[in-house]
A and B are shown apart, each in its own frame.
Chain A
């Protein structure tokens, strides 16, 4: 079971209490009626779906109920850091990053084994 640090409850809690809530730091256009369909699609539908480090919104729905931001590695599933909603995108502390990279090398992923097969 993953433990996720809630920045509002100020402690690690079981993943069972949380819900994923999509990519973080997507700003709603200031004047949404003025933008083109392409710009709307970019804002509303298109997401980066990055492999590796991603910034996501999570919600401690069965806890304090708050939304917050999390930096997560989608390869290792490791949460690198979490911080309160409303804060700008936070840089990953270098020691956390180094630890995550070291861990990532040891994580066996489906993509990794598939890569070997080719």
Chain B
């Protein structure tokens, strides 16, 4: 029988962190980069089954999908679930007949989950954003910089973040996060 090619995640098998910040690989997810004008947001929200956030640095979740505000006309929509990739995000956007651009970026990104009391400190090793709860509440998100690479940061709980990073940058991001996690424990 022929061997079946298996697609592995860019950081498959990694695991790390410190006593205060745990680093784990997020499950595979479907992702789209969505661009649309303000007037077309309601139609796309209806098609996706969640209200696309229009306020800077905010996200919205519904039906297993999370939409992250990246810019005034730009969102990253992530669909997680046991089904992994192929939850129909693109198919749903096509139900909206308003002008928009939806690009599948599921395999462009991978995500590292950072959790624990030192999670914010670990991320602040390479990220200049104010990650206090007052400035970056649970559910807040932002495209930003982490050391030399761009990331999209989402706070999933008071002490937990999702770090979305381009796959070719993921080794670097994981390495710097691992150093940050160790520093946070000192």
**Which of A1, A10, A16, A65 sits near B70, CB closer than 8 Å?**
A65
**A64 near B56: Cβ-Cβ < 8 Å:** yes
A63-B142 in contact given A9-B56, A17-B128 (Cβ < 8 Å) = yes
Contact bitstring A1-13, B, C-beta under 8 A = 1, else 0:
1000000111101
25 contacts between A and B (CB under 8 A): A1-B128, A8-B72, A9-B56, A9-B57, A13-B128, A14-B128, A14-B129, A14-B145, A16-B128, A16-B145, A17-B128, A62-B143, A62-B144, A62-B145, A62-B150, A63-B71, A63-B142, A63-B143, A64-B70, A64-B71, A64-B72, A65-B70, A65-B71, A65-B74, A66-B71
The CA-CA distance from A10 to B142 in the complex, in Å, is: 13
Interface residue tally for chain A (C-beta within 8 Å): 14
B interface list, Cβ under 8 A from A: 56-57, 70-72, 74, 128-129, 142-145, 150
Distance of A9 from chain B, by nearest CB (Å): 5
**A8 near B56: Cβ-Cβ < 8 Å:** yes
B142 cross-chain contacts in A, Cβ below 8 A: 9, 63
Distance of B167 from chain A, by nearest CB (Å): 18
A11 cross-chain contacts in B, Cβ below 8 A: 56-57
Query: Majority SS of interface residues in chain A?
Result: loop
A13-B70 in contact given A8-B56, A63-B143 (Cβ < 8 Å) = no
